[in-house]
A = this chain, B = another copy of it.
Amino acid sequence: MVSSDHVSFPAYLGVDVGGTTIKIGIVDDSGRSLAHGKIDTDHERGPEDGVRRIIDFAEGLFAEAGLNWEQIRAVGLGTPGTMDVKQGMLLHMPNMSGWDDFPIRSYLAEQTGKPVAFLNDANAAAYGEYWVGRGQEYDSLIMFTLGTGVGGGVIIHDTTLDGEHSHGSECGHIIIDSSADARQCPCGQFGHLEAYVSATSVAKRTQEMLADGAESSLQAIQSEHGEVSSLDVAKHAEQGDAFANQMIRETGHYLATGITSALHIIDPDIVVLGGAMNFGGHQTRAGRAFLEAIRQRIRELTFPVLEENTIIDFATLGSDSGYIGAAGVARKQFG
């Protein structure tokens, strides 16, 4: 139980829906997470059942934190997929069959009796970092979420850039290569950033180079498992493998190209890199080399004033950023 002395009321319920798990947390008015946890998405049980289980789990969090629904002002909800933010609709949810064309905002509001703020999961994560994470001190932020795919979030002066058709901040789909041999993105188009720097893309690029005969300790992994992952690349880079280190630098350079285009449109105070695909982040030499490769390449690509002033760093909230940010947007809209 959280001592209520330290809680800034009202509190908010933040929900971060993913294809595998749903993260749920109670967040107070200052952005402090009072209690949180996660449940399996079990998407095949459908969205109504999902909402019921979100509420059941929240009840448990209330008990844990010594709170109740009365102290919750509003609910924030971030989801993946194609959506209509203005209408509060899920439209097309890849890997979550049965959730398409569902009016999730009104259903969740009806079931909880609370107003619901609804937005894209990557924008929610960006808002979390902006509110109480790495971007806390700044007025505007771009976040790239590097995972299986690449998400993007843009916050300008406390407002998420949702876009007019719910496709704002899709930074994973910035075009970084318009040549004829550009890589295909999972979205079907070519040359998008995601096709170069997602965990899937890093693995694919690495495997192609290994198949072409690259000299590397990763060859043994490729032989044994028939594939390598971005985690393998991080591990072998950390152990000093030159090829793995080169893959990390190259990934940093691709990312820098996308970041630079975003800088030249948004010109934020800070760019934060979230998601698991960070080669270890600040904790490892490989992760630090990744960040340095990005910063170095941006310095080569951008204007002097941005080169000197724009901060590029890893995110700090980890996988909590989504539900915290969703709660933060609920606070902004209904607090």
Residues of A within 8 A of B (CB): 82, 139-140, 152, 154, 156, 161-171, 173-179, 187, 189, 254, 257, 260-269, 301-303, 305-306, 309-310
Interface pairs A-B: 4 shortest CB-CB: A163-B267, A168-B267, A173-B264, A167-B267
Q: List 8 A-B contacts (CB under 8 A).
A: A139-B164, A163-B266, A165-B267, A166-B267, A166-B305, A167-B263, A170-B303, A262-B265
Minimum Cβ distance to chain B for residue A155 (Å): 12
- CA gap between A165 and B138 in the complex, in Å: 13
- CA gap between A156 and B140 in the complex, in Å: 14
Q: Which of B140, B176, B179, B305 contacts A82 (CB 8 A)?
A: B305
Assess the A261–B165 pair: CB atoms within 8 A: no
List of B residues within 8 angstroms of A161 by Cβ: 156, 265-267
List of B residues within 8 angstroms of A167 by Cβ: 263-264, 267, 303, 305-306
List of B residues within 8 angstroms of A179 by Cβ: 177, 179
- CA gap between A222 and B175 in the complex, in Å: 34
List of B residues within 8 angstroms of A301 by Cβ: 175, 189
List of B residues within 8 angstroms of A164 by Cβ: 139-140, 267-269, 309
List of B residues within 8 angstroms of A263 by Cβ: 167
List of B residues within 8 angstroms of A257 by Cβ: 175, 178
- CA gap between A170 and B265 in the complex, in Å: 5
Minimum Cβ distance to chain B for residue A236 (Å): 26
List of B residues within 8 angstroms of A139 by Cβ: 164
- CA gap between A170 and B306 in the complex, in Å: 12
**Given A161-B267, A164-B269, 17 new contacts (CB under 8 A):** A82-B305, A156-B156, A162-B267, A163-B266, A165-B267, A165-B306, A166-B267, A167-B264, A167-B267, A167-B306, A169-B265, A169-B267, A170-B265, A171-B264, A171-B265, A178-B257, A261-B261
